[in-house]
Structure formats: C-alpha cells, structure tokens
Chain A
Amino acid sequence: MSSTLEPSEARPPTSTPYDVDRIRADFPILSREVYGRPLVFLDSAASAQKPRAVIQAESSVYENDYANVHRGVHFLSEHATARFEGARENVQRFINAAHPHEIVFTRNATEAINLVAASYGRSMLSEGDEVIISELEHHSNIVPWQFLRDERGIVLKIAPISDDGELLMREFENLLTARTKLVAISHMSNVLGTILPAREIVTKAHAVGAKVLFDGCQAVTHLPVDVRALDCDFYVFSGHKLYGPSGIGVLYGKEALLDAMPPYQGGGEMISRVTFEKSTWAPLPHKFEAGTPAIAQAIAFGSAIEYVSALGLDNIAEHERDVLTYATQRLSAIKGLKIFGTAPGKASVLSFTMDGVHPHDIATVVDRAGVAIRAGHHCALPLMDRMGVPATARASFALYNSRSEVDALGEALEQVQGIFGT
C-alpha cells in the first residue's frame, strides 16, 4: 500500500513509560463532562471508547477512498479494497494467524459464533455429538448452540466453575468424550475477569479429537493472543471492544476447517460463478463474506489494532493490572461490598454487590457523579444463577483508565452508602 493511503493521523503513541494522561488525550470523548462532572468511563468491557486515530481513519475512508470493495476496476475501488484487505492483514498479524484468508470479517463476535454454529455445526455435527461450553459464558456463546441442539439433537454440556470463577479443569476433562466435537468457551470472562487456561483446554480437547472455539471478546483487549501458539481452531472477537468501530467483528479459523465448511449466507461477493442451476463459492475468506461488508469500519478497526499494538498489549496489561489491583483494594475497604471473581491472574473487570442496595440503584447514583458502570446480568444469566445473585454492578478498566478514576468510583460508592444508610 502506498504511503498516501495511510491515515496521516495514525501516529504511534508513546510506549514507554506508560503515560496514561498522554494516552487519554488520544480519546476525545474522555475530556467531556456528564452532569457537570468529568466523565469517568468504567464500562469498556461493554464497549470501549475510540482514539482519534480510529475516528479519523473512518472519516478518511469517506473523505478520500470510499467505494465498494472487490468489485470495481476503477481507482477508488482499488484503493478501498487495498485498505480493506490491509485491515485484514492487521488482524492476521495481531493474532498471529498463518494467512490473511483465515480472517473472516463479520458484524461482531456474536455473528462469528453463529457462523460457526450454522456452518461448521450443521455440516459436521450430528445427533448425539457433544458441544461443551462453560458456566461463565456470555449468552452469545450459549444460544447459538441451543439452536443447534434443538435442530440437530446435539448434546450441550456445561463445564462448571469454582466459587472464585476458575474453570474446574478436572470436571472439564471428565466431560470430554469420543463424542465431543467442539469446545466453545470464553478466553476471558466478561463478568469475573477470569482468564481461562486456553492452551491447556486446547490440548485436552484435541486429545479426544474435539475442535476448540474461543470467545476472545474480552481477552484480546487485555492480553497478547497468538492463535498459532494456542493451536485453537476458531477464535472470535469484536472490533468495538478493541477500541474500533461497532459493526465489525472477526472469525479466525484454521484454513483447512474454513475450507471444508459450507457458506453461511448467500449473496454477492461470496460466489465464484452463478447460474440458475448451480452456484460455486468464492475462495476464502470471501466465501463467508456475502454482501457489501462494513468497509470503513473494517479499515478503522485496522487502525485500532495499530494503535493498541503500538502501545503494546504487555504494557497495556501491566497498566491495567495496576489499576485493577488498586481498585480491588479501594473497593474491598467499603463495608458491605462483595467482589465476584477472585481467580488468580484475573484481568480488568470488577463485579460487585453492596449489601442492601440493588446494582441498578448503585449504577444510578454513581452515574450522577459522572461515573459510568454497568449494572445487570451482563448477558450471562446462567452465571448469575451460579453465583446466586440476580445482578451485579461491574466496573471495567481499559488502557485509558487511571487510579484517580478508581478514587472517583470509590467516593461515589460511599455516596451510595450515604443514601441507602448501609
């Protein structure tokens, strides 16, 4: 790609030492106020804010290089296609996939899981075959498998977790049988912060011939992911949690698997030849990308990956660990506050309840102090049942959060206590 196609704003941020104030300045929204207070955004696990480089990359597509991709022979179409495919290569490098065509762009991680369930599931699984998920899954990694169970008669098995939020490896191993065809499991819990032992899961699953899909939505934002080192078969994540736009997500799949799978949706872009009698499919990855994709979003997502990579995921992880440790100490000091998810090595989300106060009331009160946290079931109702609570409040920490924001949360939670007299 020629240098004129690079968004000029995609300068690499400083990497060492980790200067959170400088990094915050890259995110325009972080300087706004809500209710007359500085915004303290602690809900990045739901969706992260965007750096200027991403915002400008998206607008630069529309201002300079917009046309449909893979269709025209004209100048703009070639440029748009080059930037779009460049973004795919960014994703490939980011997770160390062997080939760019192992990266399939989807709308989001949910669609990526549905794609695997519909394409791989329907073509490769039959009645009595087993899919293993875990107790801590997001609904998006539960419901598609229930569809498949109801349609194909597969058996859905649930791997249990400990009270700390760790996967119980012995119980997991006991669930694996010769009929187990797929393990579909989170790489990191969006509620408890647990990082699952991904490599070990793959080794055990492969030992019985099962494939492994990781839901990496949370993990890719907090730790370096290398799909070849993990040797996983599928890995899915979304752009919007990784500081990119919404409307773009990723399915990584091993080439041989993707090749063997039938298309997910039919339409333009995914075909090789169409007659009214028969159609043949385009090669990877286009076989799975029917219709006009999210062009500008994919390109801006590529810029988000450049931004995160320039900072370095190890540096980000170290910074977030410091903030999480500080937050855990600060919140533990609040009387009646209980933290859910205490697995060793957990990352950057802090779920909690307060005695006598419903999580929604907590979130409403702290919101008026300018602090955005999530309250509810976090799209993980079975996990809520497992923990015996209807809902939790959740603060999540991203690369731009600071210790002083944790202090703002702590003070706001003390205000909750003041109101509710707890």
Chain B
Amino acid sequence: MNDDLRDLYQEVILDHGRNPRNFRHPENATCAAHGDNPLCGDQLTVYMTVDENGIVIDAAFEGRGCAISVASASLMTELVRGKSEADVRRLFESFHLLATGDEGEMPEDMSDELERLSVLSGVREFPMRVKCATLAWHTMKAALAGSEKVTTE
C-alpha cells in the first residue's frame, strides 16, 4: 500500500472511526454547536459541559462523517476532558498546526496530548482532507465561544 495512505489510515484512526468514544448527547451539556462541511455533507454536533471553574468536565459528539472526521472528534473528546477552557483553546491551536503542517511552537505541557493526536498528522499529505480532521475542533471552539453553528466553507 501507498505510504501516505498507511500514514493516513493508521490503526488508531480506523479504531476511533469505527468505534467513536463519547458518541452521545449528554443531557447536562452547558454548550453545543453544530458543524457542517457542505463540500462532503459531513455533519456533527459537539456537546461541552463546563463547570463553574471553567473546567471541561465532559465532551461528547454525535453526527456522521468520514473515518478521519469521526476519529478526530473521538480523540478530541477524550483529550479535552479535565482541561480549562484556556488550555482547550491552546490545544486547538496546536492541533491546527499539526494538521496543516504549518510551523509553530508546540506547548511542552501538552506533549502527551499532541503525541496522541499525531496519528492525524497524515492528513497533511491530503490537502482536501484537512477540513475533515479539523471540523470537530472548529465546532468545539464555536461551542465554547457561544456560537451555535460552524461551517468549514
């Protein structure tokens, strides 16, 4: 198989794509947003539960999409739990750099999280698929910012 494809569809991606974690609608979510990629019809809703101290105590999602977008959403919901909103935003920025291949400083205190997310760095070789990997993240950011809708177009 083509090396780029092997990098893109790593076992972790396939596993999260097939069996997404936190694939549910929590009743007590404090904010949510709907993400839409009109180009491919992928849609998902991200639910965030933030406590009074600004800590994300739960993150979940529902929707439909390709293996990349579902796996990215699944990994995201695992990694943001327990973090402050400010740290979640920093993680968003770092993930964005990782997915697009742009230069930028990666925060050392999040090296574990970024290592887990590095399975998604294969999308760099597939420019049309970067939006798939980042859809859930943009949606989460919109939810935290109080928006209800986000589109990748």
Give the A-B contact count at a CB cut-off of 8 A.
53
Q: By the criterion CB–CB under 8 Å, are B132 and A368 in contact?
A: no
* Residue B116, interface by CB 8 Å: no
Instruction: Kindly state whether residue B9 has any CB partner on chain A within 8 Å.
Output: yes
Residues of B within 8 A of A365 (CB): 5, 9
B interface secondary structure, majority:
mixed
B10 to chain A, nearest CB (A): 10
Interface stretch, picked from B59-67, B73-81, B95-103, is: B59-67
Give the shortest distance, in Å, between B2 (CB) and chain A (any CB).
4
Interface residues of B in 15-64 (CB under 8 A from A): 18, 39-43, 64
A390 to B41, CA, bound (A): 6
Collect the chain A residues with CB atoms within 8 Å of residue B126's CB.
364
Q: Which of B67, B128, B129, B132 has the most CB of A within 10 A?
A: B67
Determine the distance from Cα of A368 to Cα of B8 in the docked complex, in whole angstroms: 12
B18 with A375: CB separation less than 8 A: no
Determine if A126 is an interface residue (Cβ-Cβ < 8 Å). Answer: no
A391 touches B5 (CB 8 A): no
Judge if A361 is at the interface, Cβ distance under 8 Å. yes
Q: Determine whether the beta carbon of A368 is less than 8 Å from that of B5.
A: yes
**Choice from A368, A381, A419 contacting B41 with Cβ under 8 Å:** A381
Q: Is the CB of A361 within 8 A of B68?
A: yes
CB distance from B126 to the nearest CB of A (A): 6
Chain A residue, CB-CB nearest to B8: A364
Does any Cβ of B come within 8 Å of A153's Cβ? no
- Which chain A residue has the least Cβ–Cβ distance from B66? A358
Cβ contact of B4, chosen from A368, A376, A390, cutoff 8 A: A368
Contact A376 B41 (CB under 8 A): yes
Q: Which residues of A contact B14 (CB under 8 A)?
A: 419-421
Q: B1 interface residue, CB < 8 Å from A?
A: yes
A377:B41 contact, CB within 8 angstroms: yes
Does B1 lie within 8 Å of A419, measured CB to CB?
yes
Q: Does A358 contact B67, Cβ atoms closer than 8 Å?
A: yes
- The chain B residue with its CB closest to the CB of A369 is B2
A419 near B5 with CB under 8 A, answer yes
CB contact under 8 A between A420 and B40, given known A360-B129, A364-B8, A368-B4: no
Tell me if A356 is interfacial: C-beta within 8 Å of chain B.
yes
